[in-house]
Chains A and B, each alone.
Chain A
Amino acid sequence: MLTIADRIFQSRLFTGTGKFNSPAMMEEALLASGSQLVTVALKRVDVKHNDNDDLLLRLKYPHINLLPNTSGVRNAKEAVFAAQLAREALETNWIKLEIHPDPKYLMPDPIETLKATEELAKMGFVVLPYIHADPVLCKRLEDAGTAAVMPLGSPIGSNKGLKTIDFLEIIISQSTVPVIVDAGIGAPSDAAKALEIGADAVLVNTAIAVSSNPVQMAEAFKLAVEAGRMAFEAKLAQPVSYAMASSPLTSFLDE
């Protein structure tokens, strides 16, 4: 089972709440996904009157933990402010740090993200930062007190899968905190692959929300994540591209 900070997760599929065609559809899909950690953009919800917010009402299940995100902020200062607001409004000290000053490709700013992580961790937040698949940055974030790292698989919303796989493997091999592949996962097979190489979890939004049957797609991701994890635990056989000959080079030793 996966532990992040003080919480245990049976499901390794984290999900988002954007891009669905209705709050009802979102609710149904998220239930089908079995997800226990669901991220919500602070900018999408009514923080002042959150008791009436349709989106939030649809997420009120005992097994669903809310993960507010800071989407829309451009620097560490704004992120810290947004995190405090989210903590107050949604009564959780968990925060998904999204600092993308670039609104076109939504690329995370590593410098501001590190700064904000340091500050928020000191303030007692459980910080999950969305970042590039940058192994050094991941180690720096660990030092700063991050609860997990969320490197991207490919550009956010692109459905291109694990384009950063070589870097993800390095990150996974040396991380002391959970690694959650956050962006670009377009198909259940991408999610399975991420788990197979040892990622602790994946976060999927677009691929579920935009499919023509989000509920069925959510279930497909659920199964893929479970399969990927099982395969990782069972230890995958390594692919080999050549046959193993009997020992022509070392057989003389037995003579």
Chain B
Amino acid sequence: MSSFNDIFETYNWDDTKASIYAKTSADVERALAAEKRTLEDFKALVSPAAAPYLEQMAQISQRLTLKRFGKVLQMYVPLYLSNECSNICTYCGFSYDNKVKRKTLSPMEIMQEVAVIKEMGYEHVLLVTGEDNVNVHVDYFKKVLELIRPHFAHISMEVQPMDLEDYQQLTPYGLNTVLVYQETYHKEDYKKHHPKGKKSNFKYRVETPDRLGQAGIHKMGLGVLIGLEDWRTDCFFTAMHLNYLEKKYWQTKYSLSFPRLRPFSGGLEPKVEMNDRELVQLICAYRLFNEEVELSISTRESANFRNNIIKLGITSISAGSKTNPGGYAVEPESLEQFEISDERSPAEIAKIIAQQGYEAVWKDWDSCLT
């Protein structure tokens, strides 16, 4: 079966990057004026040439987002189940070669965590683990889904990429959404950052969204880790990936994330810095390119940035997050995957959202629908 990789293979990183940096203000203006925007328009919108047009992009982004999603923001929270990992990722706190105490939550511990999360008001939960097929395998996930399904309206998962059969097995257990980030589309750099473990297989990872589409998953999330490589080029490939998937797996919904590399103890410094202005440019470019895609922001970003980004195009937001297994109740002091920038509670965030004239929505799915 054909996959995104077949198309991706025909692209060259350096040429693509050069074509983005060659975009001019005329290209940007054409992209802004277009009613439906193409991948070439997207290149112009993420290019340095678009920087002076940021306010205009933000205005359009806000208008398009309002029309499609209304004055609402979906609330979600991560639930870290395990920090076991058999990969080496140079930028991650859970990396195999990182000396941390490993922990996988037991059913009883999961329920302790669930109780705290429910108390905060959450109905949409994102299950997160490291990538370790020995400790956190399909059967483990089945048990977890069975356990927590009665307590949540919507369940997402961000774990290791799996085989088609695995996804097919998990969807009947109430798995609605799978997030799988490519980290970078720069093949050589990808190898450098993932020298060991199953994750070092670029092709298997880049074909994961195809497998999810074939499994008929309701929603999938894409993204790259910003800071590993040139973000404009990486995000162009993300947009191209999205474009391909939307056409092929038309019954699936899509979301995009744009995590910027955060410090962790002993971790990697970003190779490429992306400032706040550039992140706003990217968010608006994604929205102008695709009116329907969900855009998600996590607690990696600062309180001030998050306050101001609410009206610019994003559609879902987390708050009160812990990025360590057991972080809510069981072992609050254990090592986090990355440092949180915005530590405000979900109630505080909901209040900020209301102050901006939006409503924080806690439930927009029902377990009867999966």
Contacts and interface: CB of A to CB of B under 8 A. Distances in A.
Nearest to A158: B67
B246 A22 contact: no
Interface residues of A, number: 31
Given A21-B358, A73-B369, A101-B251, A43 B70 contact: no
B363 A44 contact: yes
A134 B172 CA distance: 34
Interface string A208-222: 011000000000000
Contacts of B3: none
A74 B217 CA distance: 12
A97 to B, nearest CB: 14
B69 interface: yes
A138 B18 CA distance: 53
A143 interface: no
A42 B366 contact: yes
Given A18-B70, A44-B363, A209-B71, A103 B253 contact: yes
A103 B70 contact: no
B119 interface: no
A206 B70 contact: yes
B253 to A, nearest CB: 4
B368 A81 contact: yes
Contacts of B363: 43-46
Given A44-B361, A210-B66, A19 B250 contact: no
B69 A19 contact: yes
A110 interface: no
Among A20, A104, A209, find the residue whose CB has the most chain B CB atoms closer than 10 A.
A104
A82 interface: yes
B132 interface: no
A103 B251 contact: yes
B357 interface: yes
B67 A102 contact: no
A51 interface: no
B133 interface: no
Interface in B188-235: 219
A159 interface: yes
Interface residues of B, number: 26
Contacts, number: 72
A21 B67 contact: no
A45 B292 CA distance: 23
A21 B253 CA distance: 23
A231 interface: no
A159 to B, nearest CB: 7
B71 A19 contact: yes
Nearest to A84: B368
Contacts of B368: 42, 47, 81-82, 85
Contact of B364 (A43, A74, A101): A43
Interface string B351-370: 00010011101011110110
B365 A72 contact: yes
Contacts of A210: 66-67, 70-71
A52 to B, nearest CB: 12
A72 B369 contact: yes
Interface in B330-370: 354, 357-359, 361, 363-366, 368-369
A28 interface: no
8 closest residue pairs by CB, A with B: A19-B70, A21-B71, A103-B253, A43-B366, A72-B369, A104-B292, A101-B251, A43-B365
22 contacts: A19-B69, A19-B71, A20-B70, A20-B71, A21-B70, A21-B72, A22-B354, A22-B359, A43-B363, A43-B366, A43-B369, A47-B368, A73-B369, A78-B369, A82-B366, A82-B368, A101-B251, A104-B250, A157-B67, A157-B68, A158-B67, A210-B66
Interface of B: 66-72, 153, 219, 246, 250-253, 292, 354, 357-359, 361, 363-366, 368-369
Given A103-B219, A157-B67, 13 more contacts: A20-B359, A21-B72, A22-B354, A43-B153, A46-B363, A47-B368, A72-B369, A102-B250, A103-B252, A157-B68, A159-B67, A206-B67, A210-B67
